[in-house]
Amino acid sequence: MPSLFVIQGRDQGTRFPLDESPVTIGRGTTNSVQLHDTEVSREHAELHRQDDVFVLRDLSSSNGTFVNGKRVDEYELASGDQLQLGRTLLLYTGITEDRVEDLADKINIVSRASEEDGSRILHTMHQSEGSEILAPLTDETTSPWLARARSNLQIMYRTALAVSHTLDIDQLLARIMDMIFEWVDADRGCIMLKDQETEQLVPKVRRHRRGVQSDERITISKTILDYVVDRSEGVLTSNARDDDRWDAAQSILRMGIREAICVPMQGRYDVVGVIYIDTAITPQRVLQQGSANRFTQEHLKLMIAIAHQAALAVEDTSYYKAMVQAERLAAVGQTIANLSHHIKNILQGVRGGSYLIELGIKYHAKAIHGDKVDQSDAQKAVATMRKGWNIVDKNQERISTLVMDMLTFSKEREPVPEPSDLNAITGDVIELMQSRADDEGIELVFQPALTMPTLMFDPEAMHRAILNIVTNAVDACHERDDGRVEVSTDYVHDERMAFVRVSDNGSGIDK
């Protein structure tokens, strides 16, 4: 089914299925896709289905609608497109065609003895030998161009390995920075990522040349950063005053950076950050080398390629975290629903016990006539209050058990089987629910099995399960004047199976 998946913003991790048309998107509560984003209009955009595609239309929103980084008024979506509304970024997944080609008759695997197989093995090679193509060359006759090409190929191969071995962004960026310092003769460097909320660049990793311990701050020209991010172009600067693209009044003149490379981390659709390296060459070194240039255009191309690989890995990691968060939110929601159900059942038991205590107090007041006490009514009052207190006491124990389960929520509670009486457990549930059923005018009937052996099961878990089902049955009869719930137990000796049956004449559950 087509869907929109929030990968950035306050609703990160939420998936909206597109099972209707039109689909309205906005901040208002009446929208099919409601986004909790103050920069999204109340009625921001809408989706219309046309055959197997969805067409996105902007509804004259205040901040506009963007697809893959470009502002649009109307756009036919393709699977994988990214929608930007305010500060919320959504991933569109379209309709997938279930076309699976049957290749059984297209590929034929023949046996060794088959006449069709006339092939023979000429040479074999282990995977480690294949990787030697990326090793540095030792042949001095090899052309410098080929040597550089093989070296760059080795760098990209190692970069691909680095980004594929971790899902931790900080660890990933640290690896990338370390490898850059192995390959490029830089003195300082850092990686900055865009903050999802503020869109500002935030430093994540800083490095100095190995062997040099320095607390020196890396000062970077905002002119350079803005140019790289806005135009998605890498820059190599040696002397900013000689380049018309830089404003001479900007901070480049003050900082005196001799050489620097700054490249965008261009992802699939947007820039996710920048990588910056620089170097300072002393006048003595310039005189010795006869040149002030340590970085070349080849370094710039290499840095752009590395930054692109790192950006793709950052995006993939962000998507993975969003999916994990969605699963966690779903698990938390299910847990809250289960806890609410258990707490409601316990409260119903407390309410039933309280009702009996209150009834006993009335009996006690009725038994006293001035200085005379009706012993029969007094005994009845005490028995009723004791029965009600026993019910309250049992539910206090259940509250304690539930709290202990919550404290050990990190691991699922293991059942603790013990010899138990299924008739007694079910009868206790009926006793808990009887007062509520009477209040709502519902007839609650219990028919225990005449013969029920002692069974091995977890009595607390069984009590919860039966109580949930009986509660649902009573809820289903709420709107009926002749509501009736029947509960029965049975044991089939031949099959050695016990049954608890709950039936009602309520409204049932919609399919």
Q: What is the pLDDT of residues 26-53, one digit of tens each?
A: 998 889 899 988 899 999 999 998 888 8
Three-state SS string across 105-170, please? CCCCCCCCCCCCCCCCCCCCCCHHHHHHHHCCCCCCCCCHHHHHHHHHHHHHHHHHHHHCCCCCHH
Instruction: Report how far Cα 498 is from the mean position of its chain's Cα atoms.
Output: 41
263 three-class SS: strand
- Judge whether 245 and 272 are in contact, CB under 8 Å: no
- Using 50 as the pLDDT threshold, list the residues of the chain that sit under it: 134, 140-141, 211-212, 240-242, 244, 246, 248-257, 286-287, 290, 410, 511
Tokens 């380049």 correspond to what residue?
243
Structure tokens at 208: 């100095």
Asked if 48 contacts 54 with a C-beta cutoff of 8 angstroms, the reply is yes
DSSP-assigned beta bridge partners for residue 192? 203, 274
Element (DSSP H or E) covering residue 70: strand 70-72
Collapsing DSSP states into helix, strand and coil, what is residue 258? coil
CB burial of residue 429 (10 Å; 0-12, 13-18, 19+): buried
Q: Is 218 helix (H, G, I), strand (E, B) or coil?
A: coil
For residue 455, what are its two tokens?
A: 């069974």
Please state, in angstroms and rounded to a whole number, the distance separating the CA atoms of residues 174 and 305.
Answer: 17
Q: Which of 509, 490, 506, 508 is nearest to 498 (CA)?
A: 490
DSSP state of 84: E
At residue 146, the pLDDT reads 53
CB 491, CB 454: distance < 8 Å: no
Closest of 106, 71, 103 to residue 85, by C-alpha:
71
Residue range(s) of every CATH 3.30.450.40 domain in the chain: 121-320
- 8-state DSSP, 380: H
Q: Which residue has the tokens 């497109």?
A: 81
CA dist 310 and 275 (Å) reads 10
Inter-residue contact 96 to 107 (CB < 8 Å): no
- Phi first, then psi, for residue 71 (nearest 5°) are -70, 135
Q: How far is CA 107 from CA 102, 111, 112, 164, 348, in A?
A: 10, 13, 16, 32, 66
CA angle 330, 416, 327 (to 5 degrees): 10
Tokens coding 9? 């913003």
> Are 44 and 27 a contacting pair, CB within 8 Å?
yes
- Spatial contact of 262 and 228, defined as CB atoms under 8 Å apart: yes
The shares of helix, strand and coil residues in the chain, as percent rounded to the nearest 5, are 40, 20, 35
Report residue 314 as tokens: 């950052």
| Each residue's pLDDT tens digit, 267-282 | 877 788 999 988 875 5
Task: State residue 427's pLDDT score.
Answer: 92
| Type of residue at 83 | L
Fold of 418-504: Heat Shock Protein 90 (3.30.565)
Q: Which option is the CATH number for 3-93: 3.10.180.10, 3.40.50.300, 2.60.200.20, 2.40.50.100?
A: 2.60.200.20
Give the DSSP letter string of 383-414: HHHHHHHHHHHHHHHHHHHHHHHHHTTTSPPP
Domain with CATH 3.30.565.10 in the chain: 418-504
Q: Which of 86, 71, 95 is nearest to 8 (CA)?
A: 86
Residue ranges of the chain assigned to CATH 2.60.200.20: 3-93
Phi (first) and psi of residue 508, to 5 degrees:
85, -175
Residue among 137, 151, 193, 5 at smallest CA distance from 81: 5
**In the prediction, which pLDDT does 439 show?**
81
Candidates 33, 14, 35; CA nearest to 22 is 33
Rounded CA separation 211/418 (Å): 67
Which among 401, 502, 395 is positioned nearest to 458, based on CA atoms?
401
Q: What is the pLDDT of residue 45?
A: 93
Domain at 121-320: CATH architecture: 2-Layer Sandwich (3.30)
Q: Give the model's pLDDT for residue 365.
A: 82
Q: Which helix (H) or strand (E) holds 511?
A: none
Instruction: Decide if domain 322-410 falls under CATH 1.10.287.
Output: yes
**pLDDT score recorded for residue 250:** 45
Q: What does the pLDDT read at residue 256?
A: 42
Beta-carbon neighbour count of residue 307 at 10 Å? 28
Terminal CA-CA length for the chain: 20
Predicted pLDDT of residue 252? 40
Is residue 179 within 8 A of residue 152, CB to CB? The reply is: no
Query: What is the β-pairing status of strands 33-34 and 65-67?
Result: unpaired
Alpha carbon 317 to its chain's center: 11
> What is the enclosing helix (H) or strand (E) of 489?
strand 484-492
CA distance 496 to 231: 75
| Rounded Cα distance, 384 and 356, in Å | 6
Per the structure block, which two tokens stand in for 268? 């699939």
Q: Return d(Cα 239, Cα 247) in angstroms, integer.
A: 12
